[in-house]
Chains A and B, each alone.
Chain A
Amino acid sequence: NAGVTQTPKFRVLKTGQSMTLLCAQDMNHEYMYWYRQDPGMGLRLIHYSVGEGTTAKGEVPDGYNVSRLKKQNFLLGLESAAPSQTSVYFCASSYSPGRADNEQFFGPGTRLTVL
């Protein structure tokens, strides 16, 4: 099993450009999450999904959109990138029924720089 994979690993954007980050998991998990990691701030939840076709806002959703068209994939979009979105983005997934003590499994991250 590959676990949780993320594409791409690195990306540099100019202000105003758009891009999509892809997350895929092969563990048949219902819940998927997108986090951003910034120095000294830990991980902050951007958006999450409790199942195929559903999405919800997390702690810092502004400037991002997500889609979960297939159970195994969770896409994070930036419509108009800003320098404040320079960060490392992590995707994670967890087992249904999404109990709060379930382990989250993380991908390797995408390092995004917005110039």
Chain B
Amino acid sequence: DAKTTQPPSMDCAEGRAANLPCNHSTISGNEYVYWYRQIHSQGPQYIIHGLKNNETNEMASLIITEDRKSSTLILPHATLRDTAVYYCIVRVFLSRSGGSNYKLTFGKGTLLTVNP
């Protein structure tokens, strides 16, 4: 499985952009990068995913380097409610079942604290 490396913690001021880095130097050509977050005691929440192009949705933007060895999640205007643990994940297919069945391997993630 491709391994991801994230800083254990980051701080961000409310209203400013939060840029969360992730290294995934062993990623394979067909593996997607997913970002989830987990607010204390809740289930992980999907944020965004990408393969090689930059992606944007209503929650965040995902910037993937050209060599695909790293990515950055950008929360453009962080709020206090964005305080959470953010996980960068490389999706691994569960090949026995075929189709698009896969597992997500969550590491320790980055604790983002948004300060007033």
User: Do chains A and B interact in one complex?
Assistant: no
Residues of A within 8 A of B (CB): none
Residues of B within 8 A of A (CB): none
